A and B are shown apart, each in its own frame.
Chain A
Amino acid sequence: MSEPVLTIRDLAVRFGTKRGIAEVVNGISYDLHAGETLAIVGESGSGKSVGVLAIMGLLAQPPAAVSGSVRYRGNELLTMTPKELRTIRGKGLAMIFQDPMTSLNPVRTVGYQITEPMTLHLDLDPDSAHDRAVELLDLVGIPSPAARYDEYPHQLSGGMRQRVMIAMALACNPDVLIADEATTALDVTTQAQITELVADLQDKIGMAVIWITHDLGVVASIADRVHVMYGGRFMEEALVDDLYASPRHPYTEGLLGSLPMPGAERPDKLMTIAGLPPDPVAMPAGCPFAPRCRYTDHDRCSREVPGLDSLGANHEAACFYPLVPAHE
């Protein structure tokens, strides 16, 4: 396999709070290869957003303390100066944020916001930047792009604003696109438009995508690989088909079981996961999921933290007692 575009090792993020140290991301490692789509799934507070904000260098330190290693094409990002980081952010790595209502600048035109990264990174003159911005607006499916160029965010609908965000992120042909809950605020029909759009663009430009979401339906429709995150750790990593067909971690099993499946058959009951996600200030000593796990009657779970263990080709789970594969 080719060199990964992004290599992350033991990434950890802690925040100092009034109540103590919040351990939000607790040592995650992964590689991202060109052209692939990695989905990171987790519930609110699982650390999935903070994990990518740390990669992008968007966490203020302090209060955050980031450790570990993030290498983009061999260059370590965590030790870079803000100035060096600016040459990579927007060009090598670009990000789409969750809320298109608050992440665009309300007093700048859409066109200005799309051309800004191009004038910074690509040294384009204003005219060619304008032309490329109109091209991008067209590419992301905004009707009458030339007219929209001069409009302000408030004149656009939520779906349109998210498209503008994507156009901004794509302005400099990034190697890696990070989409943080990019479709969560949108309606399903708009969500379908956006996921389709990103997949198309990925085919055209060959960029890698990290898609962060809590929606296991979206994951099934877009991902190649899935990492399930809980309590700041990866609980399970697998190719998308393997994960859905045969979850090996009890948390993944619970998540999948709690989803209402569209279809004619109506299940008796949805599976539920008892209890609440762990408090990052008071993480359990052992496996972070142990207090909610339906199988946990083992001492070991509450004492030791399980590491990710390989369970066959491209399938790993952080569990001392992984579930038996479904097909056996």
Chain B
Amino acid sequence: MSDFLLEVRDLQVHFPVYDTGVIRHHVNDVKAVDGVSFKVQRGETLGLVGESGCGKTTTGLALLRLIDPTGGEVWFDGAEMSALSPGELRAMRKRMAMIFQDPYASLDPRMSIGKIVAEPLAIHGLIKRGRQRDNRVGELLEMVGLSPDYRNRYPHEFSGGQRQRVGIARALATEPDFVVCDEPIAALDVSIQAGVMNLLEDLQRDLGLTYLFIAHDLSAVQHFSDQIAVMYLGRIVEVADRVGLYEQPMHPYTEALLSAVPIPNPAVERGRTRIILEGDVPSPIDPPSGCNFHPRCPKAFESCPARDPALFEIGDHQVACLLYEDDRSRSAG
């Protein structure tokens, strides 16, 4: 058994763009995910961080085949997902789950909490007997810190934090090995966020879960993850462990992102120098040539618009930046 539960190689998700004429011509693609590779170790958390539109949610959806990747491979526990028959895929999906960002939109308002949590059990035909299924639902609700008596209530009766707990209970119903947490706390109030984070941590420890934790909030990702992958415009620009990324960011985008995160400590804030990035994230339809970060990069040099850096290893980091090419050849030689 490999140490890695999930391995993604050169994953691509492109959405076609058509012109507006009578006959639709396929004119271009939105390259939402454009060659992403990473591995997630069993029982660990990989944090995927980046700004809106960088493709992090699309990556999560493509892993579960909730959207079909345009190219690349997703290996889950030794099997390549695209090679699976529909029946095999269904069996595999049982082992993967997703917690969605918006607890208001991701629960069907016309289903009771009990029905919502039991639905995955029904779909996968796991527990057929009514009584046993009820017991399991009660167990799941208790696991996420809700009273089993809530099963007959409806989503509108609950607060955002409680709804997110229902979403977590639903995700855990099939006893998955791997859970994609897509911005699980972004929609919640500050005082509620901590409770959900602690719950996710407890569940990981107790159930041996492997997480992909997707968020734009670097502090939350850093708190939660073992490894962190930083994404920009459909690509991964740096991967490092949580301490390494924080103490020694290598990619200029990681540096800028870290420096932009406000730290809740005024004394620290006053002493900081921010790297302010110029401009906005370019369109993924027509990304810049070479390294796609070069138009905003404070450290760009002549080669950057011309050559596209691949992700390579330097020490404990993986980084996609031409600045470090010399170091790479040295460490390789």
A residues whose Cβ falls under 8 Å from a Cβ of B: 43-44, 143, 157, 159-160, 187-193, 195-196, 214-221, 223, 240-241, 244-245, 254-264, 266-267, 269-273, 276-277
- Is B85 an interface position by the 8 A CB rule? no
Given contacts A196-B274, A217-B219, A269-B198, contact A262 B266 (CB under 8 A): no
For B141-163 the 0/1 string (1 means CB < 8 A from A) is 00000000000000000010100
B contact residues around A187 at 8 Å (CB): 51-52, 216
Question: Are A266 and B223 in contact, with the CB atoms below 8 A?
Answer: yes
Question: Are A157 and B280 in contact, with the CB atoms below 8 A?
Answer: yes
Q: A244-B265, A261-B264, A272-B191 are in contact. List 11 more A-B contacts (CB 8 A).
A: A188-B216, A190-B280, A215-B262, A220-B263, A241-B267, A244-B266, A258-B194, A262-B263, A267-B223, A272-B195, A276-B159
- Is B256 an interface position by the 8 A CB rule? yes
Bound: A219/B51 CA distance, A: 21
B contact residues around A260 at 8 Å (CB): 194, 197, 219-220, 222-224
A contact residues around B42 at 8 Å (CB): none
Bound: A30/B85 CA distance, A: 67
* 173-208 of chain B: CB within 8 A of chain A: 189-191, 193-195, 197-198, 201
- Some 9 contacts from A to B, beta carbons below 8 A apart, are A143-B279, A189-B277, A221-B263, A223-B266, A257-B194, A260-B222, A260-B224, A269-B201, A272-B195
- Is B80 an interface position by the 8 A CB rule? no
* 251-275 of chain B: CB within 8 A of chain A: 256-269, 274
- Is B291 an interface position by the 8 A CB rule? no
Question: Are A192 and B276 in contact, with the CB atoms below 8 A?
Answer: yes
Which of B194, B258, B263, B266 is close to A272, meaning CB atoms less than 8 Å apart? B194
Question: Are A193 and B242 in contact, with the CB atoms below 8 A?
Answer: no
- Is B243 an interface position by the 8 A CB rule? yes
Question: Are B247 and A262 in contact, with the CB atoms below 8 A?
Answer: no
How many chain B residues touch A (CB < 8 A): the figure is 44
- Is B246 an interface position by the 8 A CB rule? yes
Q: How many A-B residue pairs have CB under 8 A?
A: 128
For B38-53 the 0/1 string (1 means CB < 8 A from A) is 0000000000000110
- Is B218 an interface position by the 8 A CB rule? yes
7 closest A-B pairs by CB = A217-B262, A260-B223, A258-B194, A270-B194, A192-B260, A187-B51, A273-B191
* 114-152 of chain B: CB within 8 A of chain A: none
Which of B195, B243, B266 has the most chain A CB atoms inside 10 A of its CB? B266
B contact residues around A143 at 8 Å (CB): 279
Bound: A159/B278 CA distance, A: 11
Given contacts A193-B277, A259-B219, contact A188 B257 (CB under 8 A): yes
A8 to chain B, nearest CB (A): 24
A contact residues around B217 at 8 Å (CB): 188
Given contacts A220-B266, A272-B198, A273-B191, contact A189 B260 (CB under 8 A): yes
Given contacts A189-B277, A196-B274, contact A220 B198 (CB under 8 A): no
Chain B minimum-CB-distance residue to A258: B194
Question: Are B223 and A220 in contact, with the CB atoms below 8 A?
Answer: no
A contact residues around B274 at 8 Å (CB): 192, 196
B181 to chain A, nearest CB (A): 14
B contact residues around A273 at 8 Å (CB): 191, 194
B contact residues around A255 at 8 Å (CB): 190-191
A contact residues around B243 at 8 Å (CB): 264
Bound: A241/B268 CA distance, A: 10
For B76-98 the 0/1 string (1 means CB < 8 A from A) is 00000000000000000000000
Question: Are A261 and B260 in contact, with the CB atoms below 8 A?
Answer: no
Which of B190, B216, B246, B247 is close to A258, meaning CB atoms less than 8 Å apart? B190
Which of A43, A214, A244, A261 is close to B219, meaning CB atoms less than 8 Å apart? A261
B contact residues around A245 at 8 Å (CB): 267
B contact residues around A193 at 8 Å (CB): 276-277
Given contacts A187-B52, A188-B51, A244-B266, contact A262 B222 (CB under 8 A): yes
Question: Are B257 and A214 in contact, with the CB atoms below 8 A?
Answer: no
Bound: A269/B201 CA distance, A: 9
B contact residues around A241 at 8 Å (CB): 266-267
